Chains A and B, each alone.
Chain A
Amino acid sequence: MKAIHGRYALSSIALAGALMALGSSGSALAGPRESSGGVQAKIEYCETCHGDRGQGFYGYYAIPRLAGQQTGYLENQLRDFSSGMRHTAIMSPIARSVSPSMYGAIAAHFHAMNSAPLGGGSGGNAALGRDIFMNGIPESNVPACWACHGADAHGSRDIPRLAGQLPSYLINTLSNWYQQRGTKSEHGYSALMVPTTHNLTRAQMAAVAAYVSGLH
């Protein structure tokens, strides 16, 4: 555990250094880094879209649940959005407005929440999803999800919680893995998911989403 913290601290320093260098060279990443209102204001800013109980929200795009999410995973995502290793038009500029010193407090805040799943169907077969989650699909080289994400789908450290996540967000994530997260992440285990997501059919993704979105 200590080793992990050490690694984070080191990479935060490296990242901050890199951003400063980019800032002074006038890169697109440059801009006002200071955010108004401190960490509490930033948490409320997150909650505006992700829900005041962190439960997620169905907007035009599905806004993912953060409640109960693993702190290591949340911090990694903020870091990757900020550095451009994970990219979405919405979250990337937002993550760049969050000081790395706030990551820990924001992650801890959402990790402590335990709201009920938001629900919303995926159109998938939850029984098939449970089978894939528990046994994988050996003929397609898809490993059992629970082996990493845990039998309760709560994840651990860098491995995300899936339980209670919005089904449409799960399907979107699984079907865009390579485009959005690719193999580039320096943190966590994003690259591990590339072959797995490649081998899942749309119906199998919907089935897994139907199953894990109902877990609490």
Chain B
Amino acid sequence: MKQTGLTVASLAISLLAAGPLHAQQAEGNYLATLFHATPASVPDHNCVICGPATPLYSPPPDASYPLALLPLPGANGPPVKNCTFCHGVSAQGLAVAPRLAGQRAAYIQKELGAFRNHSRDNPYSALYMWNAVPNLHPETARALADYFSREAPQAAADGNRALVDQGRVLYQQGEPQANIVTCVVCHGPDAQGVGAIPRLAGLSYSYLKRRLEQWSQGYHQTAKPMPQVTQSLSAEQIDALASYLSFLDDRAASR
């Protein structure tokens, strides 16, 4: 099952990476049939690669409604399928693509901008996301962010259970003697995030671990203060944090 998922993801990813080709919109281009809701000859097509000619979807003004499993948006909605090819069914994350469901809308929008200006330069970002966003219309980005932020997140729960307690202590208190700051002060008591600060609860172990490692390797240095926050973390501490967070179901915690 996982193998199939990987294959689908890498297929979609390699297609995404071929973005510039798609921009040529060659007659009968396979990509056009994959990404276009309507044939490329129709001017107001709905495509994440080309970007819509006009804003196609206006999210409701009140973004505080509860998270839910959403029906796919209709023909006038944002092109979520272009994201879920890689990010998985209902955007719960798949292979190396992180969960988007329940993520903070302002954070998703900010990261789409960071892929666009290449300031988020982590290897998978450069490989996949840089090619996915150049023609993304800002209105569409906003609509996608709004849509995924309302999707109910499920905890990946794929870390090492034995490290959960160690991870919880580190998350809540940091380790002042070693100058390691607490995560709770920015990401919140249940790792739910706020504003442009991401929800971490229930993201996959491998994604969290990779991100925490890569700041110290020199990637994504614009995401202050994370490069400084992670520099004093040991490999074992990163393991513990990623494990703890992967099991955290903040919606269950707050019920």
| CB–CB A63/B179 < 8 A | no
Interface residue ranges of B12-65 to A (CB < 8 Å)? none
Q: Residues 199-228 of chain B: 1 if any A CB is under 8 Å from the residue's CB, otherwise 0?
A: 000000000000000000000000011001
Tell which of A90-98, A105-113, A175-183, A207-215 binds the partner: A90-98
Complex Cα–Cα for A36 and B195 (A): 33
| CB–CB A63/B176 < 8 A | no
Complex Cα–Cα for A37 and B176 (A): 12
| CB–CB A49/B185 < 8 A | yes
Interface residue ranges of A1-54 to B (CB < 8 Å)? 31-37, 41-42, 44-45, 47-49, 52
Interface residue ranges of B165-188 to A (CB < 8 Å)? 172-174, 176-179, 181-182, 184-188
B67 CB–A CB distance under 8 Å: no
Count contacts on A: residues with CB < 8 A to the other chain: 28
Complex Cα–Cα for A45 and B229 (A): 9
| CB–CB B185/A35 < 8 A | no
| CB–CB A60/B197 < 8 A | yes
Give every chain A residue within 8 A of B228 (Cβ-Cβ): 44, 47-48
Count contacts on B: residues with CB < 8 A to the other chain: 23
Q: Name A90's contact: one of B184, B195, B197 (CB within 8 Å).
A: B184
Most chain B CB atoms below 10 A, which of A42, A48, A96, A98: A48
| CB–CB B179/A41 < 8 A | yes
| CB–CB B185/A61 < 8 A | yes
Q: Name B185's contact: one of A47, A59, A97 (CB within 8 Å).
A: A59
Q: What is the total of A-B residue contacts with beta carbons within 8 Å?
A: 66
Q: Assuming A49-B181, A60-B187, is B197 touching A93 (CB within 8 A)?
A: no
A57 CB–B CB distance under 8 Å: yes
A58 CB–B CB distance under 8 Å: yes
Give every chain B residue within 8 A of A52 (Cβ-Cβ): 224-225
**Nearest-CB residue, chain B, relative to A94:** B176
B194 CB–A CB distance under 8 Å: yes
| CB–CB B181/A60 < 8 A | no
Give every chain B residue within 8 A of A45 (Cβ-Cβ): 176, 179, 181
Q: List 8 A-B contacts (CB under 8 A).
A: A44-B179, A44-B228, A45-B179, A47-B228, A49-B186, A60-B186, A90-B184, A96-B176
Additional A-B contacts beyond A45-B176, A49-B225, A60-B186 (18; CB < 8 A): A36-B179, A44-B228, A45-B181, A48-B181, A48-B228, A57-B186, A57-B225, A59-B186, A59-B194, A60-B188, A60-B193, A60-B194, A63-B185, A89-B184, A90-B182, A93-B173, A94-B174, A96-B176
